[in-house]
């Protein structure tokens, strides 16, 4: 981790291997889909995804959950895990999972709901709501926070966060405290002039939401998203406690950590298990509005469908969410960053979504433009993605993710063999 782990699915490859909450093998790098003799309908599809999930486990992932709904029938749901991890918990497709930076999509949705209600405007300067709390706050708008063009330094890059990220410091981080960590650093560039993924943007968004509504982020997620949609396993974590059956997340212990992981990140807190550390009891609160939501593959599919079909936002605000800026200035037609959501194009289709990474939990959730198709890949280990330190897992994850996105679009994926 360069502890940037609350990161974006459409980030360039160099950034992809560095994140938040993130996925080292991002979808934009997905292999071209080619017709395969093995492609013979839904069962062949399902068998191929299960084979690729098993290959990812064989490559070193303690567990993986896959869910794909192509909008044409019964969704594919797969849960595979390493034999040694079964002693701790039998992984199921409906298990709760720490979603990391996918949280940003929900936070942006709540902001846009308040915009529709006339309580906020995307053109509002941060200074209006958080006077004196953000450097250059008069020139930074809420839109810039939401699409990562503010220039604010990423608080997860500050050494003060490392003990919390590694589970060694259980202090409770508030939006204000996380914002203060990022705000004490010089801005990276003038507001609105470039794009740079920064979790500090969403710490600020969290503080604005709390100020405007007078409610906690946990209440806002519950009342504006989870309850209206019937998401029984989706909540903003206010501590390390889970509410339902959940996936166990693991990282290698110090002796088994890949050599590419720096010394400062090799000792993760948790219970030792078969050369790994069970990090399930660590507090994700340092992710705040940038990454503290817990959900399931099924719940997130329902959320994406409601969001992209217009159930959660009026048409004008949904259009604002989908208005993007280039992630890479050298590729103006490449991956784009919208408001709490990213988009990218693969040979099988153009997706919208986000990903997230927090120790023990790597998640990617994508959908099509209408919400009629959804897909999720959840991997129960994450540090390998931060430094690109495990080529075997990275290769297996890329193959699975390529197949998943093609399956979502109802197209044959490259041969799994």
pLDDT at 414: 63
Tokens 């949609």, located at residue: 229
**Has residue 4 been placed in a domain?**
no
Check pLDDT > 80 for residue 390: yes
pLDDT at 40: 53
Range of the domain at 87: 13-408
**Has residue 414 been placed in a domain?**
no
Residue 291 sits at the vertex; the CA angle it makes with 290 and 297, to the nearest 5 degrees, is 135
Check pLDDT > 50 for residue 155: yes
Cβ proximity of 398 and 29 under 8 Å: yes
Cβ proximity of 355 and 101 under 8 Å: yes
Which residues have a Cβ under 8 Å from the Cβ of 206 and sit 6 or more positions away?
107, 175, 178, 179, 217, 288, 289, 290
**Has residue 416 been placed in a domain?**
no
Average pLDDT over residues 115-132: 98
Backbone conformation region of residue 97, classed left if phi is above 0, alpha if psi is from -120 to 50, else beta: beta
**Has residue 5 been placed in a domain?**
no
Check pLDDT > 90 for residue 333: no
* Residues of the chain above pLDDT 90, percent: 82
**Has residue 8 been placed in a domain?**
no
Q: Is the dihedral of CA 115, 119, 125, 127 positive or negative?
A: negative
Average pLDDT over residues 193-216: 98
Check pLDDT > 70 for residue 16: no
Check pLDDT > 80 for residue 139: yes
Average pLDDT over residues 391-409: 96
Angle formed by the axes of helices 103-116 and 200-213, nearest 10°: 40
Check pLDDT > 50 for residue 104: yes
The CATH number for 87's domain is 3.40.710.10
Q: pLDDT category, 108, cuts 50, 70, 90?
A: very high
* 132 CB-contact burial (10 Å; exposed 0-12 / middle 13-18 / buried 19+): exposed
Angstrom distance (rounded) from CA 193 to CA 57: 42
Which residues have a Cβ under 8 Å from the Cβ of 111 and sit 6 or more positions away?
120, 142, 146, 205, 208, 209, 339, 340
Residue 26 sits at the vertex; the CA angle it makes with 257 and 281, to the nearest 5 degrees, is 45
Among the listed ranges 40-44, 190-194, 291-295, which one has the minimum average pLDDT value? Answer: 40-44
The pLDDT tens digits for 346-364 are: 999 999 999 999 999 999 9
Closest CA to 287 of 196, 202, 386, 184: 202
Average pLDDT over residues 43-65: 95
Closest CA to 132 of 180, 198, 175: 180
**Has residue 362 been placed in a domain?**
yes
Average pLDDT over residues 177-193: 98
Angstrom distance (rounded) from CA 27 to CA 25: 7
Angstrom distance (rounded) from CA 322 to CA 320: 5
**Has residue 397 been placed in a domain?**
yes
Backbone phi, psi, residue 55, to 5°: -65, -35
Average pLDDT over residues 216-233: 98
Residue 138 or residue 260, greater confidence:
138
pTM for the structure as a whole: 0.91
Compute and round to an integer the Cα radius of gyration of the chain: 20
Query: 259 is written with which tokens?
Result: 């050599």
Cβ proximity of 157 and 151 under 8 Å: no
Q: pLDDT category, 377, cuts 50, 70, 90?
A: very high
Residue 13 or residue 243, greater confidence:
243
pLDDT at 73: 84
**Has residue 68 been placed in a domain?**
yes
Residue 348 or residue 10, greater confidence:
348
| Structural domains of the chain, count | 1
Query: 255 is written with which tokens?
Result: 């002796």
pLDDT at 2: 35
Check pLDDT > 80 for residue 12: no
Residue-averaged pLDDT of the chain: 90
Q: pLDDT category, 288, cuts 50, 70, 90?
A: very high
Check pLDDT > 50 for residue 34: no
**Residue 417 burial (CB count, 10 A):** 8
């Amino acid at each position: 981790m360069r502890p940037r782990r609350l990161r974006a699915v459409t980030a360039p490859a160099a950034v992809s291997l560095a994140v938040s909450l993130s996925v080292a093998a991002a979808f934009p790098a997905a292999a071209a889909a080619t017709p395969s003799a093995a492609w013979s309908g839904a069962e062949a599809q399902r068998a191929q995804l299960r084979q690729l999930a098993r290959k990812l486990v064989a490559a070193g992932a303690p567990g993986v959950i896959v869910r794909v709904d192509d909008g044409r029938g019964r969704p594919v749901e797969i849960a595979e895990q390493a034999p040694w991890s079964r002693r701790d918990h039998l992984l199921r497709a409906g298990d709760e999972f720490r979603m990391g930076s996918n949280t940003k999509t929900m936070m942006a949705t709540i902001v846009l709901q308040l915009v529709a209600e006339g309580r906020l405007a995307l053109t509002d300067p941060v200074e209006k709501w958080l006077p004196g709390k953000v450097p250059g706050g008069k020139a930074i708008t809420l839109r810039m926070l939401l699409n990562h063009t503010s220039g604010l330094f990423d608080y997860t890059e500050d050494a003060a966060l490392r003990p919390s990220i590694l589970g060694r410091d259980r202090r409770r981080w508030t939006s204000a405290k996380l914002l203060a960590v990022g705000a004490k650093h010089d801005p990276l560039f003038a507001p609105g002039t470039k794009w740079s993924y920064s979790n500090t943007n969403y710490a600020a968004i969290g503080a604005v939401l709390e100020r405007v509504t007078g409610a906690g982020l946990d209440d806002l997620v519950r009342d504006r998203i989870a309850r209206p949609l019937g998401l029984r396993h989706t909540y903003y974590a206010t501590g390390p406690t889970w509410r339902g059956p959940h996936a166990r997340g693991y990282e290698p212990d110090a002796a088994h950590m890949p050599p590419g992981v720096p010394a400062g990140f090799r000792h993760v807190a948790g219970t030792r298990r078969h050369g790994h550390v069970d990090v399930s009891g660590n507090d994700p609160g340092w992710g705040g509005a940038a990454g503290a939501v817990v959900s399931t593959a099924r719940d997130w599919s329902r959320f994406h469908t409601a969001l992209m079909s217009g159930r959660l936002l009026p048409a004008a605000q949904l259009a604002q969410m989908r208005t993007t800026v280039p992630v890479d200035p050298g590729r103006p037609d490449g991956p784009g960053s919208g408001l709490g959501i990213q988009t990218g194009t693969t040979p099988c289709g153009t997706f919208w979504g986000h990903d997230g990474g927090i120790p023990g939990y790597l998640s990617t959730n994508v959908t099509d433009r209408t919400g009629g198709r959804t897909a999720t890949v959840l991997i129960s280990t994450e540090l390998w993605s931060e430094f690109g330190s495990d080529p075997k897992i990275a290769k297996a994850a890329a193959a699975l993710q390529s197949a998943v996105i093609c399956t979502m679009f109802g197209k044959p994926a490259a041969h799994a063999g």
